[in-house]
Structure 1
Amino acid sequence: MATRSIFKQTYNGYAPPQARPIRPKSHFERIIDRGGDFLIAYWAHIVTTVLGILVGIAIAIPFLSYMGLQSISSPLFYVLHYVCAQIPSHSFYIWGHQLGLCARNFSIYTSMFLGSLIFVLSKKRLPGIPWWLWIIMILPMAWDGTSQMFGLRESDWILRMVTGTLFGLGNIWFALPLMHKSIMETIPPTPMHQQV
């Protein structure tokens, strides 16, 4: 009789979750949990900070060069070459020194920075745009860049700035709200208390 009762309580040999002892987390697991919680809470702030640093470095380079600090500006300029071709004829100059990013990339990253800053300041409540509007916003740059690459026409700095800004804002306005929604939908609910 007792055996039959225990068998029923353990559901065919498996103890129900509330009956299983909870193993305390190790120090490493607690650090990983805290890191994950931090990333979930501040991922948009991190994106905004990285974009702000990128734009800030691009703007700082000509000022550093003008002040004769080539030992700082040259390595920074070289590092930005990983995200931009830095073609001199496609770039802006301040006091005769080239900006760290070309006009198109500068407008892309600046608009992405400003868009992500607005997203963060709105406490992640900025509504996203539908996919078809996102396509419409990135198509002008695709046309401008592709037609120029194949020598069909030469773009000017105004067109590079406008198409780059549309591209940057479109990507941020589409991606960040979508990422936020996905994160919020995948976070498991926090239990009020755990039974031991």
Structure 2
Amino acid sequence: MPSRSFFFRGKQFPVCARCTGTYLGFLSAPLFIFDVIYFNWLWSILLILPTVIDGLTQAYMNRESNNILRLITGLMYGVGLMSLASLIGRAVGFYILDLIK
């Protein structure tokens, strides 16, 4: 939908504003992998919640979001997801190391 995506130099982005934010959030993965930043499980889930709330309230409460809000919640979702992936990867890695010992 053109109303839900950004335009750059007259060209429409191939993904919606929320997905754009999510993909930008995915770029934070190296920060978690190399321990530049660290969020615990709670913070990771709290970063994901605004996207869920925004999406559900749009779907069920007759509310329309805007592209800036979609971008910000998507960015938070992407960062939260990368943090969770890092935490899960670390937990699985330590579990495997314990099995090997």
Tell me which interval the TM-score lies in, with the shorter structure as reference length.
0.7 to 0.9
**Is residue 107–residue 168 contact of structure 1 (8 Å, CA) maintained in 2?**
yes
Alignment partner of 1:161 is 2:65 = no
Q: CA deviation at 1:186?
A: 0.2
Q: Which structure exhibits the higher relative contact order, with contacts defined as CA atoms closer than 8 Å and separated by 6 or more residues?
A: 2
Alignment partner of 1:117 is 2:30 = yes
Within 5 Å, which residues of 2 pair with 1:88-127?
Answer: 88-112=2-26, 114-120=27-33, 122=34, 125-126=35-36
Runs of 4+ in structure 1 displaced over 4 angstroms? none
Q: CA deviation at 1:136?
A: 1.6
Match of residue 29 from structure 1: none
Distance 2:39 2:88 in 1: 9
Judged with a 3 Å threshold, the aligned counterparts in structure 2 of structure 1 residues 119 and 138 are, in CA distance, closer, same or farther, namely: closer
Question: For residue 146 of structure 1, what is the amino acid of its counterpart?
Answer: L
**Is residue 128–residue 174 contact of structure 1 (8 Å, CA) maintained in 2?**
no
**Is residue 41–residue 87 contact of structure 2 (8 Å, CA) maintained in 1?**
no
Gaps of 5+ in 2: none
Let me know the Cα RMSD of the aligned residues. Answer: 2.0
Aligned residues: 99
Distance 2:71 2:44 in 1: 18
Distance 2:15 2:91 in 1: 32
Larger radius of gyration: 1
What is the TM-score normalised by the length of structure 2? Answer: 0.81
- Choose which of 26, 47, 55 in structure 2 pairs with 1:145: 55
Distance 2:75 2:22 in 1: 5
What is the TM-score normalised by the length of structure 1? Answer: 0.45
**Is residue 32–residue 38 contact of structure 2 (8 Å, CA) maintained in 1?**
no
Within 5 Å, which residues of 2 pair with 1:128-139?
Answer: 128-139=38-49
Distance 2:31 2:37 in 1: 11
Question: For residue 10 of structure 2, what is the amino acid of its counterpart?
Answer: G
- Taking only the aligned residue pairs, the percentage that are identical comes to 31
Distance 2:88 2:36 in 1: 10
